[in-house]
Amino acid sequence: MEKIIRFGVSMDSKLLNMFDRHIHKKGYTNRSEAIRDIIRDHLVSQEWMNADSETIGTITLVYDHEKGDISERLIESQHHYCDNIISSIHVHLDKHNCLEVLVVRGKANKIQEISDHLISNRGVKHGKLTMTTTGKKLV
Amino acid sequence: MEKIIRFGVSMDSKLLNMFDRHIHKKGYTNRSEAIRDIIRDHLVSQEWMNADSETIGTITLVYDHEKGDISERLIESQHHYCDNIISSIHVHLDKHNCLEVLVVRGKANKIQEISDHLISNRGVKHGKLTMTTTGKKLV
Amino acid sequence: MEKIIRFGVSMDSKLLNMFDRHIHKKGYTNRSEAIRDIIRDHLVSQEWMNADSETIGTITLVYDHEKGDISERLIESQHHYCDNIISSIHVHLDKHNCLEVLVVRGKANKIQEISDHLISNRGVKHGKLTMTTTGKKLV
Amino acid sequence: MEKIIRFGVSMDSKLLNMFDRHIHKKGYTNRSEAIRDIIRDHLVSQEWMNADSETIGTITLVYDHEKGDISERLIESQHHYCDNIISSIHVHLDKHNCLEVLVVRGKANKIQEISDHLISNRGVKHGKLTMTTTGKKLV
């Protein structure tokens, strides 16, 4: 069962004003929610520094599908890591360029390994690993 | 038509050794490819600093679909920005947690605005904007 | 005159527990202080995105003073920007390697220009611009 | 003794053009030097991921010296870590605000600990750890 705690934070009025203006611009309607988001983001980074905890990452790849056998090589690599790759989405950006996003679950260092392996493929123009979370431990 | 240029880079043997070991670990089989990847990554960051150029981003959201009306609010927001959101993928992480990745196309500051808007929704546990590229200008 | 405001933040007890453990590890003895620090850090990044506001940066350079005329070139460059460079510290790391940290004041894009100019000098092994603040607007 | 190696990199002319324009803006007069700098920066980040290797960091602190006993507390902390803090520079930003940069040598996790300890002090408005290098292994 969830238990919500309310605690007090003291802050200089000038600093609080600046913060309120900042989160208003970002679209927050609620100060607590903005503070919770900032805190969760810090904790997710920590989760990723602990190589042993299971987590989730997304790997974004942009490549030219006409460059050699890049499509086959990416598919082959993905099958090799099929235990970790949950799902993927493919977008045809234009006649040449493809974007693929893979959702990967596993230990932080395993996800890093998969990301390195895919991004280092000749033909991948741009690749990025985004570290997110299973959400389990975050409330 | 493509034109491949070959140019020389001079480097101290010790530095080159360290670099070769580093890219070997990352899975590169080819030094040129590793250098091209590093260069492309720098240029993509530049692209994002130019607010007027069209580019691609992916927005990753983790949320608990049982928290209030978060699902409806996210769908509504996405419809509001339907001109920019190309496609999305949804993964059921467990009984409570969802992961959604949206592929967004537009000017850098528009994509930032959409990302801010979605991530600031109460109920989103973790959100990240990943800046990638249309690939058009990158070879 | 300063005015301290105290406001309430509501948070799930599980999330609060994780946050408390995290800031304890970082050495904080006070939850408000940890939250203020996180908020200030966000606002400093914003300050740097506004190219027109005056701010402070530190430029860290590691170089081999025996490599060509690197020392003279760095001194010459620094004199060129003397209106912005407030002060600097020099450390002899070993027989060959020097570390220099410059404190620079000015508009964000001017500081970036100075940093680019210094770091691109042949002979600089590693250079980094750290974005900080005049502290004036932060309470 | 140093040994300079020259090797070939092949690149599409369009990508090379973009890179050349980019480094020209950054002030580089030499393509090899720009590529060496990018490579060194990658290797320095790796050095910091290896908790056991000795390295150098700079810790930048902005604080209001009139806030309680912050000055004494910072001095005391610095003495506690005097084996690692090589030197520091102090700048009076205005009547209230001080900037201090400390040059710290030690294992990566030790430097991180010192940085956490100093930045978490009540009264420090902004703090940043910059990871650089002893320069020994970089040529």
Confidence of residue B139 (pLDDT cuts 50, 70, 90): low
Contact B34 A120 (CB under 8 A): yes
Which pLDDT belongs to residue D139? 67
The beta-strand segments (E) located in A20-109 are: 54-64, 85-92, 97-107
Residue A113 distance to chain C (closest CA, Å)? 27
For residues C29 and C73, membership in a common domain is answered with no
Contact A122 B33 (CB under 8 A): yes
Contact criterion met (CB below 8 Å) for C63 and D138:
no
Contact A89 B86 (CB under 8 A): no
Domain coverage including residue C92: 54-131
Low-confidence spans in chain A with pLDDT less than 50: none
Confidence of residue B68 (pLDDT cuts 50, 70, 90): confident
For residues C43 and C109, membership in a common domain is answered with no
Q: Pick the residue with more confidence: D46 or C112?
A: C112
Residue to substitute from B16, B25, B32, B45, interface D, most D β-carbons within 10 A:
B16
Contact A96 B135 (CB under 8 A): yes
For residues A45 and A21, membership in a common domain is answered with yes
Q: How confident is the model over C95-124, as pLDDT tens digits?
A: 889 999 999 999 988 999 999 999 998 889
For residues A79 and A100, membership in a common domain is answered with yes
* Residue C78, in any domain of the structure: yes
* Residue B34, in any domain of the structure: yes
Nearest to C138 among A15, A31, A32 (CB): A15
CATH code of the domain containing D120: 3.30.70.1150
Which pLDDT belongs to residue A46? 76
3-class DSSP string for chain C: CCCEEEEEEEEEHHHHHHHHHHHHHHCCCCHHHHHHHHHHHHHHHHHHHCCCCEEEEEEEEEEECCCCCHHHHHHHHHHHCCCCEEEEEEEECCCCEEEEEEEEEEEHHHHHHHHHHHHCCCCEEEEEEEECCCCCCCC
Q: Which residues on A lie below 8 Å from B67 (Cβ)?
A: none
Q: Which residue in chain B has the smallest CA separation from A115?
A: B26
For residues A74 and A116, membership in a common domain is answered with yes
Least confident of C45-49, D93-97, D101-105: C45-49
Q: How confident is the model over C5-40, as pLDDT tens digits?
A: 999 999 988 889 989 998 998 889 889 999 999 888
For residues A69 and A118, membership in a common domain is answered with yes
Nearest to C135 among D23, D88, D125 (CB): D125
Average pLDDT of span B28-56: 85
Q: What is the sign of the dihedral through the CA atoms of A37, A38, A41 and A42?
A: negative
Q: Which residue in chain C has the smallest CA separation from D86?
A: C91
For residues B95 and B72, membership in a common domain is answered with yes
Q: Pick the residue with more confidence: B129 or A51?
A: B129
Instruction: Tell me the two tokens of residue B101.
Output: 């990745």
Chains touching chain B at 3 or more Cβ pairs under 8 angstroms? A, D
pTM here? 0.79
ipTM exceeding 0.85?
A: no
Q: Which residues on B lie below 8 Å from D42 (Cβ)?
A: 19, 22, 38
User: How many domains are there within chain B?
Assistant: 2
Residue to substitute from C20, C24, C35, interface A, most A β-carbons within 10 A:
C35
Which pLDDT belongs to residue C123? 86
For residues B19 and B64, membership in a common domain is answered with no
